Protein backbone atom coordinates (compact mmCIF):
# COMPACT_ATOMS: atom_id res chain seq x y z
CA UNK A 1 0.00 0.00 0.00
CA UNK A 2 1.41 3.38 -1.00
CA UNK A 3 2.09 5.96 1.67
CA UNK A 4 0.88 9.40 0.59
CA UNK A 5 2.63 12.62 1.53
CA UNK A 6 2.45 16.34 0.88
CA UNK A 7 5.22 17.24 -1.54
CA UNK A 8 6.26 20.29 -3.50
CA UNK A 9 5.35 20.44 -7.18
CA UNK A 10 8.53 19.79 -9.14
CA UNK A 11 7.65 20.93 -12.65
CA UNK A 12 7.52 24.71 -12.19
CA UNK A 13 9.64 26.68 -9.76
CA UNK A 14 7.20 29.58 -9.24
CA UNK A 15 4.79 27.09 -7.64
CA UNK A 16 7.08 25.71 -4.96
CA UNK A 17 4.51 26.83 -2.40
CA UNK A 18 1.91 24.44 -3.85
CA UNK A 19 1.51 21.02 -2.26
CA UNK A 20 0.11 17.79 -3.64
CA UNK A 21 -0.31 14.24 -2.36
CA UNK A 22 2.09 11.95 -4.20
CA UNK A 23 2.96 8.30 -3.51
CA UNK A 24 6.40 7.67 -2.09
CA UNK A 25 7.73 4.14 -2.62
CA UNK A 26 10.60 4.52 -0.17
CA UNK A 27 8.62 6.49 2.41
CA UNK A 28 11.01 9.47 2.21
CA UNK A 29 9.23 12.79 1.92
CA UNK A 30 12.41 14.62 2.83
CA UNK A 31 14.44 13.22 -0.08
CA UNK A 32 11.79 14.40 -2.54
CA UNK A 33 11.74 17.81 -0.88
CA UNK A 34 15.50 18.13 -1.24
CA UNK A 35 15.15 17.27 -4.94
CA UNK A 36 12.51 19.97 -5.34
CA UNK A 37 14.92 22.65 -4.15
CA UNK A 38 18.08 21.33 -5.80
CA UNK A 39 17.91 23.52 -8.93
CA UNK A 40 16.92 26.90 -7.54
CA UNK A 41 18.38 30.02 -9.09
CA UNK A 42 20.86 31.85 -6.83
CA UNK A 43 18.43 34.64 -5.89
CA UNK A 44 15.75 32.08 -5.02
CA UNK A 45 17.98 30.84 -2.20
CA UNK A 46 17.82 34.19 -0.38
CA UNK A 47 15.48 34.77 2.53
CA UNK A 48 15.41 38.50 3.20
CA UNK A 49 15.32 39.00 6.99
CA UNK A 50 12.71 41.63 7.90
CA UNK A 51 13.63 42.35 11.51
CA UNK A 52 12.79 46.01 11.07
CA UNK A 53 10.29 47.72 13.40
CA UNK A 54 8.42 49.50 10.59
CA UNK A 55 6.65 48.93 7.28
CA UNK A 56 5.94 52.35 5.78
CA UNK A 57 4.50 53.32 2.40
CA UNK A 58 8.06 53.91 1.21
CA UNK A 59 9.01 50.45 2.49
CA UNK A 60 6.18 48.92 0.43
CA UNK A 61 7.54 50.43 -2.78
CA UNK A 62 11.08 49.32 -1.92
CA UNK A 63 9.91 45.78 -1.09
CA UNK A 64 8.05 45.50 -4.40
CA UNK A 65 11.28 46.35 -6.23
CA UNK A 66 13.21 43.87 -4.07
CA UNK A 67 10.85 40.88 -4.52
CA UNK A 68 12.17 39.73 -7.95
CA UNK A 69 15.67 39.52 -6.49
CA UNK A 70 14.99 37.24 -3.50
CA UNK A 71 13.28 33.93 -2.86
CA UNK A 72 11.35 34.89 0.24
CA UNK A 73 11.12 36.90 3.43
CA UNK A 74 11.90 35.92 7.00
CA UNK A 75 9.68 37.89 9.36
CA UNK A 76 11.21 38.18 12.82
CA UNK A 77 9.91 38.58 16.36
CA UNK A 78 10.30 42.35 16.55
CA UNK A 79 8.26 42.89 13.39
CA UNK A 80 5.63 40.38 14.58
CA UNK A 81 4.99 42.34 17.77
CA UNK A 82 5.59 45.97 16.79
CA UNK A 83 2.33 47.87 16.04
CA UNK A 84 2.40 49.37 12.55
CA UNK A 85 1.37 52.66 14.13
CA UNK A 86 0.67 53.87 17.67
CA UNK A 87 -2.55 52.34 19.00
CA UNK A 88 -2.98 49.94 16.07
CA UNK A 89 -3.77 46.26 16.64
CA UNK A 90 -2.04 45.40 13.35
CA UNK A 91 1.65 44.62 13.62
CA UNK A 92 4.45 45.32 11.16
CA UNK A 93 5.00 41.59 10.57
CA UNK A 94 1.36 40.83 9.80
CA UNK A 95 1.07 43.88 7.53
CA UNK A 96 4.13 42.76 5.56
CA UNK A 97 2.88 39.17 5.43
CA UNK A 98 -0.56 40.16 4.10
CA UNK A 99 0.98 42.54 1.54
CA UNK A 100 3.36 39.88 0.22
CA UNK A 101 0.72 37.13 0.14
CA UNK A 102 -1.73 39.37 -1.73
CA UNK A 103 0.61 40.76 -4.38
CA UNK A 104 3.30 38.04 -4.56
CA UNK A 105 1.61 34.70 -3.70
CA UNK A 106 4.55 32.69 -5.11
CA UNK A 107 6.93 34.15 -2.52
CA UNK A 108 8.01 32.03 0.45
CA UNK A 109 7.35 33.56 3.87
CA UNK A 110 9.32 32.23 6.80
CA UNK A 111 7.57 33.06 10.12
CA UNK A 112 10.46 33.16 12.59
CA UNK A 113 8.48 32.74 15.82
CA UNK A 114 10.93 30.31 17.52
CA UNK A 115 8.37 28.30 19.48
CA UNK A 116 9.54 26.55 22.65
CA UNK A 117 6.92 25.28 25.07
CA UNK A 118 5.03 22.27 26.38
CA UNK A 119 3.42 19.83 23.97
CA UNK A 120 -0.11 21.24 24.13
CA UNK A 121 1.05 24.81 23.59
CA UNK A 122 3.30 23.82 20.68
CA UNK A 123 0.34 22.09 19.07
CA UNK A 124 -1.74 25.25 19.53
CA UNK A 125 1.05 27.41 18.11
CA UNK A 126 1.30 25.20 15.02
CA UNK A 127 -2.48 25.29 14.48
CA UNK A 128 -2.51 29.08 14.75
CA UNK A 129 0.43 29.62 12.39
CA UNK A 130 -0.95 27.11 9.87
CA UNK A 131 -3.88 29.49 9.29
CA UNK A 132 -1.53 32.29 8.24
CA UNK A 133 -0.62 30.54 4.98
CA UNK A 134 3.13 30.96 5.47
CA UNK A 135 5.71 28.68 3.86
CA UNK A 136 7.24 27.75 7.20
CA UNK A 137 7.72 28.67 10.85
CA UNK A 138 10.46 28.07 13.40
CA UNK A 139 10.56 26.19 16.68
CA UNK A 140 13.55 25.56 18.92
CA UNK A 141 14.97 22.12 18.18
CA UNK A 142 15.93 21.89 21.86
CA UNK A 143 12.27 21.34 22.79
CA UNK A 144 11.05 17.99 24.11
CA UNK A 145 10.62 15.37 21.39
CA UNK A 146 6.87 15.13 22.01
CA UNK A 147 6.54 18.92 21.74
CA UNK A 148 8.35 18.87 18.39
CA UNK A 149 6.13 16.05 17.14
CA UNK A 150 3.04 18.04 18.17
CA UNK A 151 4.24 21.05 16.17
CA UNK A 152 4.77 18.88 13.08
CA UNK A 153 1.44 17.11 13.51
CA UNK A 154 -0.59 20.34 13.52
CA UNK A 155 1.46 22.41 11.06
CA UNK A 156 -0.82 21.83 8.08
CA UNK A 157 1.00 22.75 4.87
CA UNK A 158 3.68 24.79 6.63
CA UNK A 159 7.28 23.64 6.92
CA UNK A 160 8.36 23.18 10.54
CA UNK A 161 11.87 24.61 10.83
CA UNK A 162 14.08 23.67 13.77
CA UNK A 163 16.47 26.26 15.19
CA UNK A 164 19.55 24.58 16.68
CA UNK A 165 22.13 26.90 18.29
CA UNK A 166 21.79 30.62 17.63
CA UNK A 167 24.56 32.15 15.52
CA UNK A 168 25.65 34.64 18.19
CA UNK A 169 26.56 31.77 20.55
CA UNK A 170 30.20 30.88 21.15
CA UNK A 171 31.50 27.43 22.13
CA UNK A 172 31.91 28.58 25.72
CA UNK A 173 28.37 29.95 25.89
CA UNK A 174 26.96 26.80 24.29
CA UNK A 175 28.75 24.62 26.86
CA UNK A 176 27.45 26.83 29.67
CA UNK A 177 23.87 26.40 28.37
CA UNK A 178 23.79 22.82 27.05
CA UNK A 179 26.91 21.26 28.60
CA UNK A 180 28.23 20.51 25.10
CA UNK A 181 30.20 22.39 22.46
CA UNK A 182 28.43 23.72 19.36
CA UNK A 183 29.79 20.92 17.16
CA UNK A 184 28.17 18.35 19.46
CA UNK A 185 24.96 20.22 20.32
CA UNK A 186 23.86 21.05 16.77
CA UNK A 187 23.92 17.48 15.38
CA UNK A 188 22.27 16.20 18.57
CA UNK A 189 19.37 18.65 18.20
CA UNK A 190 19.23 18.06 14.43
CA UNK A 191 18.92 14.30 14.75
CA UNK A 192 16.14 14.58 17.36
CA UNK A 193 14.32 17.10 15.18
CA UNK A 194 14.54 14.80 12.16
CA UNK A 195 13.12 11.93 14.24
CA UNK A 196 10.23 14.20 15.23
CA UNK A 197 9.34 14.63 11.54
CA UNK A 198 10.66 18.19 11.07
CA UNK A 199 11.20 19.55 7.58
CA UNK A 200 14.08 22.04 7.72
CA UNK A 201 16.90 23.04 10.03
CA UNK A 202 18.54 26.34 10.95
CA UNK A 203 22.21 26.34 11.92
CA UNK A 204 25.24 28.49 11.29
CA UNK A 205 27.11 27.67 8.06
CA UNK A 206 29.93 26.19 10.12
CA UNK A 207 27.78 23.22 11.15
CA UNK A 208 26.54 22.32 7.65
CA UNK A 209 29.05 19.52 7.20
CA UNK A 210 27.74 17.89 10.39
CA UNK A 211 24.37 17.36 8.66
CA UNK A 212 25.54 14.78 6.12
CA UNK A 213 24.80 11.66 8.17
CA UNK A 214 21.85 10.02 9.89
CA UNK A 215 18.24 11.14 9.60
CA UNK A 216 19.26 14.80 9.65
CA UNK A 217 20.79 14.67 6.17
CA UNK A 218 17.22 14.64 4.73
CA UNK A 219 16.35 18.05 6.19
CA UNK A 220 16.43 21.29 4.23
CA UNK A 221 19.24 23.52 5.52
CA UNK A 222 18.74 27.22 6.21
CA UNK A 223 21.70 29.32 7.32
CA UNK A 224 21.65 32.76 8.91
CA UNK A 225 24.96 34.29 9.97
CA UNK A 226 26.11 34.93 6.41
CA UNK A 227 28.00 38.06 5.36
CA UNK A 228 29.42 39.29 2.07
CA UNK A 229 33.24 39.41 1.89
CA UNK A 230 34.54 42.35 3.89
CA UNK A 231 31.25 43.07 5.68
CA UNK A 232 31.10 43.50 9.46
CA UNK A 233 29.97 40.44 11.43
CA UNK A 234 28.23 42.66 14.04
CA UNK A 235 26.88 40.40 16.83
CA UNK A 236 27.32 37.15 14.87
CA UNK A 237 30.07 34.75 15.95
CA UNK A 238 29.90 31.84 13.48
CA UNK A 239 29.72 33.44 10.03
CA UNK A 240 30.57 32.63 6.42
CA UNK A 241 29.90 34.20 3.02
CA UNK A 242 26.60 33.26 1.31
CA UNK A 243 28.50 31.51 -1.48
CA UNK A 244 30.60 29.45 0.90
CA UNK A 245 27.45 28.49 2.84
CA UNK A 246 25.71 27.24 -0.32
CA UNK A 247 28.88 25.44 -1.43
CA UNK A 248 28.90 23.80 2.02
CA UNK A 249 25.38 22.46 1.63
CA UNK A 250 22.94 25.27 2.51
CA UNK A 251 19.64 25.22 0.60
CA UNK A 252 18.78 28.78 1.71
CA UNK A 253 20.61 31.68 3.34
CA UNK A 254 19.06 34.39 5.51
CA UNK A 255 20.33 37.92 4.83
CA UNK A 256 19.33 41.06 6.67
CA UNK A 257 22.13 43.55 7.19
CA UNK A 258 23.81 42.69 3.86
CA UNK A 259 20.61 43.79 2.10
CA UNK A 260 19.33 46.58 4.35
CA UNK A 261 22.77 47.95 5.25
CA UNK A 262 22.41 50.70 2.62
CA UNK A 263 19.59 52.26 0.62
CA UNK A 264 20.38 50.14 -2.46
CA UNK A 265 18.39 47.06 -1.40
CA UNK A 266 18.15 45.67 -4.94
CA UNK A 267 21.86 46.13 -5.64
CA UNK A 268 22.75 44.52 -2.32
CA UNK A 269 20.50 41.51 -3.04
CA UNK A 270 22.08 41.15 -6.48
CA UNK A 271 25.53 41.07 -4.89
CA UNK A 272 24.39 38.33 -2.50
CA UNK A 273 22.98 36.34 -5.45
CA UNK A 274 26.26 36.74 -7.37
CA UNK A 275 28.17 35.42 -4.38
CA UNK A 276 25.78 32.45 -4.14
CA UNK A 277 26.21 31.74 -7.86
CA UNK A 278 29.98 31.56 -7.36
CA UNK A 279 29.40 29.17 -4.47
CA UNK A 280 27.14 26.96 -6.57
CA UNK A 281 29.77 26.80 -9.31
CA UNK A 282 32.43 25.84 -6.77
CA UNK A 283 30.15 23.13 -5.39
CA UNK A 284 29.54 21.76 -8.91
CA UNK A 285 33.26 21.69 -9.67
CA UNK A 286 33.95 19.89 -6.40
CA UNK A 287 31.26 17.31 -7.16
CA UNK A 288 32.60 16.66 -10.67
CA UNK A 289 36.16 16.37 -9.38
CA UNK A 290 35.16 13.80 -6.77
CA UNK A 291 32.98 11.85 -9.18
CA UNK A 292 35.04 11.70 -12.36
CA UNK A 293 38.66 12.50 -11.57
Farthest-apart Cα atoms in the chain, separation: 65
Residues 6+ apart with CB under 8 A from 46: 69, 70, 71, 72, 242, 252, 253, 255, 269, 272, 273, 276
Would you call 21 helix, strand, or coil by DSSP?
Answer: strand
**HSE (side-chain half, CA atoms, 13 Å) at 242:** 29
CB 7 within 8 A of CB 32: yes
**For residues 24 and 272, what is the distance between their CA atoms, to the nearest angstrom?**
36
Please answer whether residues 23 and 4 qualify as being in contact, where contact means their C-beta atoms are separated by less than 8 angstroms.
yes
Q: Does the annotation mark 114 as catalytic?
A: yes
- Catalytic residue, from 57, 74, 114, 283: name it: 114
Residue 85: CB atoms within 10 A of its CB come to 12
Rounded CA-CA distance 278/189 in Å is 31
**Pairwise CA distance, residues 91 & 111, whole Å:** 13
Catalytic positions: 114
Amino acid sequence: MHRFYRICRLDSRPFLNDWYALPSHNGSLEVLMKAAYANLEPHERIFCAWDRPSFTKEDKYAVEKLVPHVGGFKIGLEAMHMPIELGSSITVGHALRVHLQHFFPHLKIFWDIKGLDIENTMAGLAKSVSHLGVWGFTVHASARLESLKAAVRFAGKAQVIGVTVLTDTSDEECFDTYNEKVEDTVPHFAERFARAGGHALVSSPHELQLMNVGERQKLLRITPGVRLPGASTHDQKRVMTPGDAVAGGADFVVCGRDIFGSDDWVGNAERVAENIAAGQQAKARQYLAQRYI
